[in-house]
Amino acid sequence: MRLKKRSGKASEEINVTHNADDIENIDMTEGEEHTEKIPVQAVQSELEAEGVEVEDEQSTDNGMAGESADAEEETERAGGITEDFSDGGETQEPLPEAADTESGENAEDLEEENDKGNGKRRKRRGRSSENGKRRRRRRGRKKREFKKPGKKFFIITGGVIGGLILIYLGISAYFISHFFVNTTINGKDFSGKSAKAVEEYIRGEVNGYELTIIEQNNDRNIIKGSEIGLTYKESSEIEDALKKQNPLLWPAGFFSQSSTQVSVGVDYDEALLDEKLQSIKAMSKEQTEPVSAYPKYNGNLFEVEPEVYGSAVDTEALKEKTVQYITEFRDSLNMMDEGCYKMPAYTSDSEEVKNACNTMNQYLKAKITYTMDEEVVVDKDLISQWVTCDSEMNVTFNEEAVKAWMREFGEKYDTVGKTRSFTTPDGKQTQVSGGTYGWIVNEAQEAQNLIENIKNGENITKEPEYKQTAASRSALDWGTTYAEVDLAAQKMWFVVDGSVALTTDVVTGRPSTGNATPEGVYDILYTQRGAVLRGDIDPATGKPSYETPVSFWMPFTYQGHGFHDATWQSAFGGNRYLTHGSHGCVNMPYDKASQLFELITAGTPVIIHS
């Protein structure tokens, strides 16, 4: 491909001559050439990047240069392409150059004619030329991307690295005799200081040293170095600490704190120091012990009761901190900040106290309501008394306290043997006590039930576990259906649903022989027809002291007391019981015993009073 750059017109153009080897996808015979005109602005930069030579034909005479360029352009367009057909056809010769005397107008006419003749061929070559340009641009970019660094680059890089190494080694040499950055010795910052500088600082601090001890109430005590014999004592430990540094690792000092604990070369009289500490105000006045935070019931739940800081001094901590401050030449020690007082074991922020509160409040979720003659409620106010927390914040549910409460509960609501006041059917005001009838709470079982209810956080209404029940939870627990005997009046009544269904005179046990009918409230154990009543065994005969058949037997004690017919009695009521009384039973006329037998059942309350 040959290129020629033409100039001298308003816009510059380049004549590009192609042959068949340069252009792909164009219908050209091998060896054939084609010249086309392309604007410089469109392709010059790309052609120069490809290394293509551009020939600039400048004429010394501006007028002649324009005419010569126009003539050459006409020649190129008219006959500048030589086509060699493979079938041996004619060869198209280039047109002769236009005469110098021809006008520019004739050259333009000739150029237009050639353009028409080759229009189709140029369109095909134009598309191929554009594809070729894109391929050449890609090849150019690849060459530029893989350009290898030159010798100058390596020289500069090596110089920079070498300079950095020299700087690093120079700094390392400095830290052979100086402490790293962020180095503290006994709490004092000695970054970048030499061992000599540290020793000089210590010597300067010893002279005139004073320590102010600030107490809880802002009282102040001063300990002077001269009062405790404070002196400087030379030591190799500072130098030894410096030698332990690896100077090559000096950058590490910027990223971590290096704390070196050494004896800074001071000495003091320990006995004098102890004496001074004992004389401070906090040690000489009355001291109160601290109180830890703890769970406290506020009427609704357990919450953290804040700790109380006492005034009792922790003498060991005070001595330790005082020595530390003297060694570090610090001038002020706050006893509270440094923990020189006895501190509460737990504070309001202690997780142990918070967890204890949470555990104790779990128990308070329970609420158990007992349906007695009045509601008895076991809720958080009572449960809070059974949940305790020791000094180690261990929570305990006091089951023994629950059992004790249940015993009190049973004592209050058990009715067996208790005195009841009431009015008899004939209007007499009287009392009765004793017997076996009434309510008995199963205290042991119910205490265990209550413990489980509380642990499970239950909210329930229930009756307690009973060993024995009665007809009513009212004061007169026998209810409205019962049998009643007045020993003094020698009468009995059978009341059904509050109304008297049967009344009769009776004969009760004979008091003078020790067989008086026992007072109290009982219940019918069972009923039996045709029973034989037998007395105690007579040791002399080995037989019962008596054997008496009866038609209707209704016992109310396990000792053999009961209602029955007594056909052998000639009369009932009055004072007959004093002379012809029974062995303790209630003797009834046959017809009345028969009626009672039909009315009464096992479990019916029996009231015996005088």
Q: Are 573 and 492 in contact (CB under 8 A)?
A: no
d(CA 333, CA 379): 52
Alpha-carbon torsion (551, 557, 561, 562), positive or negative: negative
- Lowest-pLDDT range of 21-30, 190-199, 414-423: 21-30
pLDDT score at 99: 38
Q: Does 198 score more than 80 pLDDT?
A: no
CATH of 482-609, picked from 2.40.440.10, 1.10.10.10, 3.40.309.10, 2.60.40.10, is 2.40.440.10
Query: What residues does 381 pair with on adjacent strands?
Result: none
- Lowest-pLDDT range of 75-79, 175-179, 343-347, 486-490: 75-79
> For 364-468, which CATH class?
alpha beta
Mean of the per-residue pLDDT values of the chain: 81
- Lowest-pLDDT range of 94-108, 109-123, 400-414, 514-528: 94-108
Q: Are 177 and 297 in contact (CB under 8 A)?
A: no
3-state helix, strand, coil in the chain (%, to 5): 35, 25, 40
Alpha-carbon torsion (289, 294, 298, 299), positive or negative: negative
Q: Are 328 and 186 in contact (CB under 8 A)?
A: yes
Q: Are 492 and 503 in contact (CB under 8 A)?
A: yes
Half-sphere exposure of 419 (CA within 13 A, CB side): 3
Beta strands in 402-490 (DSSP E): 417-423, 429-434, 440-441, 459-462, 466-468, 482-486
pLDDT digits (tens, 9 = 90+) for 91-130: 444 444 433 444 444 444 444 444 554 554 555 555 556 6
Give the pLDDT mean for 579-608. 97
Query: What residues does 522 pair with on adjacent strands?
Result: 606
Q: What's at 236, amino acid-wise?
A: S
Q: Does 422 score more than 80 pLDDT?
A: yes
pLDDT digits (tens, 9 = 90+) for 5-16: 444 444 455 555
* 364-468 shares its CATH topology with 482-609: no
Residue 13's contacts (CB-CB under 8 Å, 6 or more residues apart) are 6, 37, 38, 39, 40
pLDDT score at 244: 76
d(CA 521, CA 430): 13
Q: Where are the domains of the chain?
A: 2-145, 178-285+310-343, 364-468, 482-609
pTM (predicted TM-score)? 0.57
314: exposed, middle or buried (C-beta count within 10 Å: 0-12, 13-18, 19+)? middle
